[in-house]
């Protein structure tokens, strides 16, 4: 197996970032530093270390969908000591999330120990749709929706265009559906900030063909083979 694929499958980094680690001399195979991109290893026998830490492939792959509640961080060790999504999932394997949600965002998160899969699905090239339900206070004008559909400008930077649909207005709250196919940091919140609106509730309800469905807040379950297949095929 190529060394960069081994590192990606093990969850160290994407293949491209693994190549950077290799060229920076941070990877050792059987005690020797390797700097060649194309290095081939025997994944059953060779001992691989990254910055002195042993790296191994997971024994079997796990794919989970979690309904993340608001008030949980998506990092394994939160620097502010906040609760993390990893406290919600009982799993012996070292899991990582496919993309992240903000601390205050709730909804669908996919967790896996398959690094190659996670890196692939999160890659902008795959452009997998992410759908959010957004609640804001007050009404929204058609012209404001048009700005977000075209790509709002945030601090001089043009955001990618988004599919934005008005759903309802009731008791002073506007509900919208927002679909994006990139996953820039705080992308949906920044789009609304650009039109001067503060998001009251942000919930991800779909990633590609995988829907959050009826999973309760804080609960999770395995992806079905069909759901996994849709993601792998970029759907």
- Name the residues annotated as catalytic: 102
| Distant-in-sequence, close-in-space partners of 23: CB < 8 Å, separation ≥ 6 | 35, 37
Footprint of ligand URA (CB under 6 A): 101-102, 105, 186-189, 202
CB nearer ligand URA, residue 84 or residue 187: 187
What is the rounded distance in angstroms from the CA atom of residue 14 to the CA atom of residue 7?
A: 8
* E strand or H helix that includes residue 54: strand 53-55
CB nearer ligand URA, residue 182 or residue 229: 182
Instruction: Please give the structure tokens belonging to residue 52.
Output: 């002195």
Tell me the three-class secondary structure of 51-67, residue by residue: CCEEECCCCCCCEEEEE
Provide the minimum distance between the beta carbon of 151 and ligand URA in the complex, in angstroms, as a whole number. Answer: 15
What is the rounded distance in angstroms from the CA atom of residue 134 to the CA atom of residue 175?
A: 6
Owner of token pair 């920076």:
24
Looking from the CA of 195 toward its CB, the CA atoms found within 13 Å total 24
- Point out the residue whose Cβ comes nearest to ligand URA: 105
3-class state of residue 74 by DSSP = coil
Looking from the CA of 65 toward its CB, the CA atoms found within 13 Å total 21
CB nearer ligand URA, residue 12 or residue 73: 73
CB nearer ligand URA, residue 27 or residue 110: 110
CB nearer ligand URA, residue 101 or residue 128: 101
**Gap between the terminal Cα atoms of the chain:** 27
What is the rounded distance in angstroms from the CA atom of residue 16 to the CA atom of residue 230?
A: 24
Closest to 221 (Cα-Cα) out of 98, 116, 89: 89
């Amino acid at each position: 197996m190529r060394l960069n694929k081994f590192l990606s499958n093990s969850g160290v980094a994407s293949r491209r970032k693994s190549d950077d680690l290799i060229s920076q001399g941070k990877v050792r195979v059987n005690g020797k530093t390797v700097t060649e991109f194309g290095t081939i290893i025997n994944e059953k026998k060779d001992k691989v270390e990254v910055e002195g830490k042993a790296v191994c492939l997971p024994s079997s792959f796990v794919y989970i969908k979690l309904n993340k509640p608001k008030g949980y961080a998506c990092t394994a060790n939160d620097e502010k000591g906040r609760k993390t999504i990893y406290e919600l999932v009982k799993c012996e394997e070292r899991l990582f999330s496919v993309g992240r949600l903000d601390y205050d965002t709730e909804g669908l998160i996919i967790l896996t120990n398959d690094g190659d899969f996670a890196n692939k699905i999160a890659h902008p090239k795959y452009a997998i749709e992410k759908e959010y339900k957004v609640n804001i206070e007050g009404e929204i004008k058609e012209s404001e929706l048009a700005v977000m559909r075209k790509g709002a400008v945030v601090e001089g930077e043009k955001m990618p265009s988004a599919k934005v649909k008005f759903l309802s207005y009731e008791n002073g709250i506007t509900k919208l559906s927002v679909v994006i196919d990139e996953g820039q940091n705080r992308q949906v919140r920044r789009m609304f900030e650009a039109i001067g609106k503060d998001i009251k509730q942000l919930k991800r309800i779909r990633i590609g063909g995988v829907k959050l469905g009826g999973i309760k807040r804080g609960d999770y379950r395995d992806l079905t083979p069909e759901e996994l297949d849709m993601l792998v095929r970029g759907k």
